[in-house]
Every structure is written in structure tokens, then in C-alpha cells.
Amino acid sequence: MTDHRSFLRRYPYVVAFTTVLGLVLGGVAVGTAVIGDREGRAAAAERRCTADALATRWTSGTLFLDARSVDSGKSVLSVRGDEPTQTGSTMKLITASAALAALGPDRRFTTTVVAGAESDSVVLVGGGDPTLSRLPSGQDSVYPGAAHLDDLARQVRAAHPAPIEVVRVDTDLFDGPAWHPSWTESARTSGSVSNITALMVDGDRDDPTEAYSLRSTGAVTRAATSFAALLGPDVRVETTSVTPSTGARTLGTVRSATVSELVGTLLTHSDDTLAEVLARHVAIAEGAGRSFDAVQVGTTKALHEVHVPTDGLRLVDGSGLSPDNRVPAATLTTLMRAVATHRDGLEPVDRGLAIAGRTGTLDEDGRFTGAARDARGHVRGKTGTLDDMFGLTGVTDEVAGDRIAFTVFAEGTSDPATRHEIDVLAASLWRCGGLAATAPQAQGAARSERAAPSERPARSVRSSDTRPPGTRHR
């Protein structure tokens, strides 16, 4: 038998040719397998893609739909996508993004106590932190990482050992009114939102550990009274806002979690009060004002910083609780593309999105079950609900070479089953992936024989049913 080393010395070219041939054939095999797998996934996506047909047959109120490629921005489906409409809590995506742009991810809100005009008085200065908690330090409220009043009180007692007789308040950071006139009183009684003031504790909840807990009409009084009780049993409270003396000595300070962290809490739990306070801070930072009236200018200026178009926007609050807000579906989809790609510092918004069938509002009320069940874990987004509309804006996982950013609004219906129909459409957009624009019509009708989705009026059903009072705004 010939020694293999001798063979290599005598026939080196044969060995080299054999090696190269093996590498080429192996590469072809691997490449063919990759291409085949990609083509197989694309073919499977095309077989399951029904998004266009679902939009055509829509029956749950009036459909507003915009879906487009995350990578290219190319429109894949649109029905009234450019027409402004109600948003519900999908508005919180706009507010969260504006907060990151205008305030920065590391900004914190500070609550301060300064010495009063009299030696026995102190002034509690509201810094616009709705998460400040009256619970003992070490006990969590609904807001993770919240500052605590008892920490502030310990600092004040150490810095002001003399008896304190009165606590006054400075709430001038925000202007009134504290309650938007378009909000229903049921939003308060259901625990959705509080009066929007610069000084409150636990979002003014009766129960700091319960997300949906009754709110009061005296948020400032609750905060000041809770603080005064920590200073002594007979400390008096005055809730008419005062302006501390220039150069008043600081006796204590506590700070909120970062804006980045607050954005995550806002989106995951759809917190209306936190949204409104962030919108107010944005307005102040943008020089627009300190009231509800400043939200429009403040938020739109911040959106320009993240390259989101603002044409057609009417923003009267930051939570979407008002039925007077108007935003085109295409605007939210454009914003979702920026969020999905973590552009312009919007990664915290992406982290705060609910996951279909797993977390947040996309894991409630039977979301993503039945015909939408296979999309659990593959769609992330933010829901929106008002008395006569349902919505979802989100982004899908990659299928057939692309991710899809989308916004779906169904207006003019109070039927809770609409949520499922929205989920089914979102699930189909996930199955379509990059093929959504060329999806075959149901029953095999040729696409060339149909009008484009934007040219077809969706069927509108106006329901006379009303949602029961106190329905949660999600």
C-alpha cells in the first residue's frame, strides 16, 4: 500500500483540485439549502397570507389600516391609512416617543421640600412625579423604582430639627385644568386616570398597589396630608399653592425612576396618568406651555426630532383617553418602524410593547386565541380602546424576508369581539411578512382583477350598543 505522504508529494495538483472541488460542491449544497429554506418559508407564508382578504371583508365598524415594510417603508396594505381618526391608548406610543426625544432617557423628576417663610413651616414642591409613593420604603406600589415620602420626611426631619407646624405646597409646575373636559367621570371612578397635578402620590390611587383603583378629586391634598403625617401627628396642611422664597433652603429631595423606565411602565400597563404627566413635561421642555392646551405643540415638536410626520394630528391629551384626538394610522405605523429599528433612541419604547399572548394588554381579554393563536409571541404592540373604537399598532416578527409594521383601527363599534378580528388581521400580517403586498385573494381570485385596498371602501357598521360605565381604557 502506497504511503499517503508519498502520494501527496507525487500528485499535489490532484489533491488540490479534489479539495477545491469539494469546497465548491459543498458551498453549492449549503447555498442551495439556504435558498431552498428561504423559498420554502416564502411559499409557506404566501399560502397562509390572508391579510388582504380579511381587510376586504371587514365588518367590525369602519376600518382604518396601514401596514408597511419595516425595512423599506413600502406600503403593503392601506385602507383609509391617511385619514385621521381616534386613537385610544395607542396615543401612548406617541407620548412615550416624544418624552424620550424631548427629555432624554435618563431624565428623572425631583420632588423637593424647602424651608417655608416661617421657621415652623416647610413647602412641598411638586416636580411632576406621579409615581412618588406614600407606601413605606421597601414596599412596592404599582410603579417600580418609585421614590418614597418617608425617605423625604427623614431628610426633612434631619435638616429641620425644630418642630414643624405647617406643610404648604407649590404645584405651579403644571397649569390647570387638572381634568380634561372631554374625559368622562367614569374614567376616574374606574381607576383609569387621576387629576393631572404636579404633586400627587401613587398616581392618586386609593390603593397604591392596585393599577385600577379609585382616584380622588383632591390629589394634592392626599399627597400633602400623607407627607405631613410623617412629620408629626399635629402638622397642619395648606393646599393653596405658594411660591417659595428665592434661595429657600432645600431640606430634602427624592427622584423618580428614569424616563426610559417610566416609558416601559407606561406602555406595559397602559397608565393614563403617567402618560398625561409625561406629555405635560414634554410641553414644558419644548417651550409650549404647562397645560393640556400645550400638548399639541409640545408633542408635535418632539416628534419632528424622531422624524415622524405630524400632518393631520390633533392631540388634546397624552393618553388617548379623549375621543377628540385624531391621528392617521399611517403616522403610527411610521413611528412603529422607527421603534422597531431602535432609531433615534426609541429602543425603550420597543422594550415596553406588549407581546401577543404573553404580556401586558395583549395577554388580556382572550387576545390572540383561536384563529390568531399561532401569532402568540410573534406580534408586539400597543392596544387602544374607547367607547366606540378598538385599535392596535405593532410590529411582527420576520417572515418571508421582512417584518411588518402596522396600525389597525376599528371605529364606530363597541362590540368586544372586534378585538379578536383585529388580532386575526394582525396574525395574518405576520404570516404574510414581505408577501403581504402580493397576497392572493381568497378563493384564488387574481389580484389584477381587484381594486387596490385603498380604493375599496371598508364596510361600516355603527353599533347602538354602549360599553358599560367604568370600562377600563386600554
Annotated catalytic residue 92: yes
Catalytic residue among 69, 89, 121, 194: 89
Whether residue 74 lies in the annotated active site: no
Distance of CA 104 to CAs 132, 315, 429, 455, Å?
Answer: 20, 21, 33, 41
Contact 458, 80 (CB under 8 A): yes
Which residues are within 8 A (CB) of 161 and not within 5 positions of it... i.e. 6 or more apart? none
Sign of CA dihedral 408, 472, 358, 339: positive
For residue 396, list its beta bridge partners. Answer: 379
Under 8 Å between Cβ of 61 and 413: yes
d(CA 437, CA 75) in angstroms, rounded, equals 8
301 is catalytic: no
Residues in the chain: 474
Among candidate residues 78, 241, 270, 319, the one labeled active-site is: 270
Q: Which of 75, 92, 141, 301 is catalytic?
A: 92
Active site residues: 89, 92, 270
